[in-house]
Chains A and B, each alone.
Chain A
Amino acid sequence: MENKNNNKKAGSKSLGAQFWKEFAKGIIISNPVFILALGLCPTLAVTSSLDNALGMSAGVIFVLLCSNIIISIIRKATPASARIPVFIVVIATFVTILSLVFQAYIPPLYESLGIYLALIVVNCIILGRAEVFASKNSVLLSIGDALGIGIGFTLALVIISLLREILGTGSLSVFGLELFKIPVLSASPMTFFILPPGAFLVIGLLLALFKWLGVIKNE
């Protein structure tokens, strides 16, 4: 985990420039899934379809954004010894709000995400950002950080779910609207890819690809 933001040095740059820096970093350079290998449970569990991946991403961005803002606001009053429990309560509160809202307004998504919606609480990405970033930086930068990391997470989930849904069902649909259907593949799809082993294989191969391309340097 890196925290390149340094308030003393950054004093010379405008706030807007800092915001964009924090925002951009999460998308590629420190993509939470592919580079940092964080938040893997939801990444594998909900990527069997594009709908689920988008729903989960929206949930994670909401919780990440809200908890980053609150934790950043209360950062000066938060005692160091009670830090982690406070973060956990803040995060759990927003996850509960999210699941209540999903249950009331988008029940099909709530059903298909199941316990993985509640498990956003223990998503290492969110607690990690609270600990490493939001508890040390201003509200504006924390928003940039949350959005960047959130979009990076979304990007990873969308790539994985596209591969899995297209290979595993031979077609692609978003929120009930069928986008396309591959003639031969949809008649006898490679169901393997929407089953658990397919999830592991797709992510393993993607990680190897990024490493081969030189995006991932370490290890």
Chain B
Amino acid sequence: MASKILSNKIYPLVFLTIIVLASVSLLVYINSITAPIVEAQQEAEIKNMLSGMFADMDDYKYEDEIYTIYQDSEIIGYAFLAKGKGYGGEINILVGVNEDFTIEDVVIISNTETPGLGSKITESSFTNQFRGMAAGDVALKKDGGDVDAITGATISSKAVVEAIRKAMEEKINLLEGD
């Protein structure tokens, strides 16, 4: 009788433990297959994005949150992430600059802005405006800068502009300090 009560209490625990162990080992095994693929993919994606900005790039290095872009072992520019708070949430932007710290190109990596309105920040008609600008020019026209805001999506446009300017000022300071 006593042993039956004991087994009634212990058996469920043993069974659950076996299931958890089986689950963990299966997951570790599958992760060991997929993890390298995911890593390679993320690297390819970054490389793809950077070479889209700097056509002449043949190598890059990532250090202190800045990608340094090389051509024939010479630095041709830098790229870094800028984060903005938009209308719907966070906006992530990749900013590429030349050695003279004017913008080569910007790419909106992710956003959760209103589809059809704020989400137009990803279109090239908006992002192309930034090309060639120095940090000081990056502001909406109504704030004395050179950027046309998207009609009906001033908050999203402003979020992008502010994020880019802030990130540029910060990183350029860092780069010039070296």
A182 to chain B, nearest CB (A): 14
A61 to chain B, nearest CB (A): 19
B26: nearest chain-A partner, CB-CB: A93
A90 surroundings in chain B (CB, below 8 A): 19, 23
A194 touches B27 (CB 8 A): no
Among the interface residues B34, B114, B117, which one has the most CB atoms of the partner chain A within 10 A?
A: B34
Chain B contacts with A in 19-40, Cβ cutoff 8 A: 19-20, 23, 26-27, 30-31, 33-34, 37-38
B117 touches A86 (CB 8 A): no
Cβ-defined partner of A79 (8 Å) among B11, B27, B31, B115: B11
Interface residues of B, dominant DSSP: helix
A103 touches B23 (CB 8 A): no
Interface residues of A, dominant DSSP: helix
B23 touches A93 (CB 8 A): yes
A39 at interface (Cβ–Cβ under 8 A)?
A: no
Interface size in chain A (residues, C-beta < 8 A): 28
Cα A39 to Cα B37 with chains together (Å): 31
A191 touches B16 (CB 8 A): no
A78 surroundings in chain B (CB, below 8 A): 15
Instruction: Given A191-B116, A195-B114, answer yes or no on A107-B41 (Cβ-Cβ < 8 Å).
Output: yes
A149 to chain B, nearest CB (A): 23
Complex A-B: 24 CB contacts under 8 Å = A74-B19, A79-B11, A82-B12, A82-B13, A82-B16, A86-B16, A89-B20, A89-B23, A92-B23, A93-B27, A97-B27, A100-B34, A101-B34, A103-B34, A103-B38, A104-B33, A104-B34, A104-B38, A107-B41, A107-B45, A168-B115, A169-B115, A189-B116, A191-B117
A105 surroundings in chain B (CB, below 8 A): 37
B115 touches A191 (CB 8 A): yes
B23 touches A100 (CB 8 A): no
Q: What number of residue pairs across chains A and B have CB atoms under 8 A from each other?
A: 59
B41 surroundings in chain A (CB, below 8 A): 104, 107
B38 surroundings in chain A (CB, below 8 A): 103-104, 107
Instruction: Given A79-B12, A82-B13, A103-B38, answer yes or no on A191-B114 (Cβ-Cβ < 8 Å).
Output: yes
B30 touches A89 (CB 8 A): no
A210 to chain B, nearest CB (A): 28
A49: nearest chain-B partner, CB-CB: B115
A123 to chain B, nearest CB (A): 18
Cα A209 to Cα B15 with chains together (Å): 47
A12 at interface (Cβ–Cβ under 8 A)?
A: no
A18 at interface (Cβ–Cβ under 8 A)?
A: no
A205 at interface (Cβ–Cβ under 8 A)?
A: no
A104 touches B19 (CB 8 A): no
B38 to chain A, nearest CB (A): 5
Cα A97 to Cα B31 with chains together (Å): 8
B34 surroundings in chain A (CB, below 8 A): 100-101, 103-104
A218 at interface (Cβ–Cβ under 8 A)?
A: no
B121 to chain A, nearest CB (A): 15
A191: nearest chain-B partner, CB-CB: B116
B23 surroundings in chain A (CB, below 8 A): 89-90, 92-93
A173 at interface (Cβ–Cβ under 8 A)?
A: no
Cα A85 to Cα B13 with chains together (Å): 10
Cα A10 to Cα B114 with chains together (Å): 53
B117: nearest chain-A partner, CB-CB: A191
B31 surroundings in chain A (CB, below 8 A): 100
Cα A23 to Cα B110 with chains together (Å): 40
Cα A104 to Cα B34 with chains together (Å): 6
Cα A111 to Cα B110 with chains together (Å): 10
Cα A107 to Cα B116 with chains together (Å): 23
A79 surroundings in chain B (CB, below 8 A): 11-12, 15
